[in-house]
Structure 1
Amino acid sequence: MSDSHQAANNRQQTGKWGEDAACTFLLEAGYFIKERNWRCRSGEIDIIAEHNGRLIFVEVRTRKLGGRFGTAAESVDRRKQQQVRETAQVYMRSSGLANPSIRFDVIAVTVSRESKAVIEYKHYEGAF
């Protein structure tokens, strides 16, 4: 396996660990998970949840402790926010939801480099 293929595989695995941890975090906080990794042509939404009558679109970003590329939350730039908004619109149309109460959250997960254990969650409600 090439180094670039191995690195991409490691990033995917790290992302999956972060999404699994974020789902557990949300469930423990009383959220109902409606969808995971919902995809359409405009993109993907990591988690679609419901909480207190509100539909919540969650972008999960996972970083290993001591990474060189900034924090997980900082990686959700304007372009990514726009893509999530557009994908959320497609989801609501395809689900027949007219004007639901919605929110866009970011969950930043930091994991240990060695054990992959979750070190920290940061839940940014209404992040964008």
Structure 2
Amino acid sequence: MKGGWAEDLALAYLLERGYRLLGRNRRTPFGEVDLFLEKDGVYVLVEVKQRSSGAYGTPLEALTLRKVRRLLQSARYLLGRDDLPVRLEAILVHGTPRAHRIEHLVLEV
């Protein structure tokens, strides 16, 4: 998996900040959820996007409205109900395993 190192990095980053891992690379009928976590009683679905250069755009540009909608559908699917607290987040990784920068976004939906 080419972007596996970025997911590992994102997971370590979030665990250091008090998140608890519930699942990784969870498949749903709407797509795959990179990281499924919980923090302070809120379920958090995290999309990890990585780009080593700007040749194919930025990690943020790879996070499309369609992907955000699918994450929201996946959240409902994984939780089995609509009334639980859910938050969508993105970890954007710029660079390579040796030299990188992390950007952490909370997605407003």
Tell me the TM-score normalized by structure 2.
0.90
Q: Which runs of 4+ in 1 moved over 2 A?
A: none
Correspondence for 1:89? 76
Q: Which has the larger radius of gyration?
A: 1
TM-superposed CA distance for 1:41, in Å, is: 2.1
Ranges in structure 1 where 5+ consecutive residues have no aligned partner: 1-11
Query: How many correspondences in the alignment?
Result: 109
Name the Cα RMSD after superposition: 1.5
Q: Percent identity?
A: 30
Correspondence for 1:78? 65
Structure holding more strand per residue: 2
SS at match of 1:109: strand
Q: Judge conservation of contact 2:75–2:86 (CA < 8 Å) in 1.
A: no
Give distance in 2, aligned partners of 1:110 and 1:88: 26
Correspondence for 2:51? 63
Correspondence for 1:105? 89
Q: Judge conservation of contact 1:109–1:118 (CA < 8 Å) in 2.
A: no
Structure holding more helix per residue: 1
Distance 1:48 1:102, change over 3 A: same
